[in-house]
Amino acid sequence: KVIGRAGVGVDNVDVEAATERGVIVMNTPGGNTISTAEHAFSLMLAMARCIPQAHASMREGKWDRKSFTGIELYNKTLGVIGLGRIGSEFARRAIAFGMRVLAHDPFTSLSRARSLQVEMVDLDEIFARADVITVHMPLSDRTKGMVGREAFAKMKKGVRIINCARGGIVDEHALADALREGKVAAAALDVYEQEPFPADHPLRAFPQVVMTPHLGASTAEAQESVGIEIAEAIRTFLLKGEVLNAVNVPNVDSKTLAVIRPWLRLAERLGRGVSQLAPDRVEELTVNYCGAASEVNTQPVTRLVVKGFLERISGRDVNPVNAMVAAASLGIRVVESRTCALGSYTELLQVSATRGEETASMTATFFGSPDNPRIVRINGRTVEAAPEGVILLFANDDRPGIIGHIGTTLGRAGVNIASMTLSREKLGGPAVTALNLDSEPSLEVLKEVATHPTIHWAKVIKL
């Protein structure tokens, strides 16, 4: 049995219940890319030439040619935050209009950017140089409020803002203040922090804000495209047994599943963890197997690693079926390897993310049974942490008083330590400490942890 969703989101399907009942759930992740990119681009044009305002004036019976002076896009600098499928399509259209395109996406390779003829820069450079800024990122802890008061303070006076991605990436109240102060000349929005958009929201008071009610995918072509795509996927499954764009099941036979089953959930968590340690613009993601799993088809495990790695940062809904395509679209090579040294372990799964000489990695195994997984190495250093919940990781010098500082700081904030391991090279030398926590510490608490003179950095990893 199969359920098909003609669209990206499957919020209207109980995926967990379907999985429990052996029902495959499919979606159509790419069908609305062009429609959304075109809508965002049309909003930029409308905003640049004051088209909605001029139209409203004409409908009122006026003939006002002086109040709606706009700007040319030619030779303007565009900043694209998020160079996934939609961001890339937007950039192509902007280049055709003669715009200079800057882009920021920590997970898109430089070779991919060069192929699109865009210049990859850091976020602050986009804020400083761009005349128009458009966001095409998923909403996450990392991107929520990304374009806020601090960002507006770094921008040119007269900048224009577009958000057709997700409500919440642009801080709406900070945007209202920036419009009021004249820092932002105009804005174009299709998505909002609260939908339907409140009638009394302060942004409604600004005539230079172009707004549409979440119409990015609302075209006849997009609806037809996703309809045909899901119909073809269901037909292929029913006639051939092939699964395309499934969101809840990897493709694997029963014999292989018996071997890899313990690794499936752990794989996704390792990918998710490494994504939070990895350098920007990862070029290669390596999944290394040792033990029984290395002797069977490990593609389902690898795909779940990639899914976990990409789900926090990709501009698309990533699942085990489309994970490889999503990685390739970001210029990330995915490599399977079977070369790790077992040492004292019988099985190991190692995930590494690399850019140039920079590498981040996690290695995991099982202690005794598949119900007892453990992370046993982080960035090559021996640790012992449960791959679940919140992990506080920090690098420090092996000196007296650090554990007391950590315990006191977390205790004062009401954060309980579930377990802790300290890995040092030698007495008094460099060390890495990993703590499983029962709740996530605030940014302020994390900063206080890092104030200890022998702690070099501290990071929270959420699995």
Structural domain boundaries in the chain: 2-30+219-240, 61-196, 252-353
pLDDT of residue 34: 93
Tracing tokens 């330590």 back to the chain, one arrives at 417
Catalytic-labelled residue, pool 104, 112, 136, 166: 166
The question of whether 180 is a catalytic residue gets the answer no
| Neighbouring residues of 398: CB distance < 8 A, sequence distance ≥ 6 | 422, 424, 426, 427, 428, 429, 430, 431
Catalytic-labelled residue, pool 214, 265, 405, 456: 214
Q: Please state which CATH number belongs to domain 252-353.
A: 3.30.1330.90
Q: Are 280 and 295 in contact (CB under 8 A)?
A: no
Helices (H) and strands (E) in the chain, counts: 14, 19
Burial of 314 (0-12, 13-18, 19+ CB in 10 A): buried
pLDDT of residue 241: 62
Strand partners, 2: 24
Strand partners, 362: 351, 378
Rounded Cα distance, 441 and 257, in Å: 37
∠ CA(233), CA(237), CA(241), 5° rounding?
Answer: 150
Q: Is 152 helix (H, G, I), strand (E, B) or coil?
A: helix
Q: Which of 110, 431, 121, 162 is nearest to 282 (CA)?
A: 110
- The list of the chain residues with pLDDT below 50 reads none
Q: Is 216 helix (H, G, I), strand (E, B) or coil?
A: coil
Q: What is the DSSP letter of 170?
A: B
CB atoms within 10 A of CB 130: 26
pLDDT of residue 432: 87
Continuous H helices in 214-298 = 220-240, 254-277
pLDDT of residue 92: 98
pLDDT of residue 429: 80
CATH class name, domain 61-196:
alpha beta
The question of whether 59 is a catalytic residue gets the answer no
The question of whether 214 is a catalytic residue gets the answer yes
Q: What is the DSSP letter of 290?
A: E
Q: Model pTM greater than 0.75?
A: no
Distances (CA, A) of 435 to 282, 398, 416: 26, 16, 10
Rounded Cα distance, 417 and 43, in Å: 49
pLDDT of residue 248: 78
Supply 97's token pair. 């209009």
pLDDT of residue 242: 67
Catalytic-labelled residue, pool 16, 72, 195, 425: 195
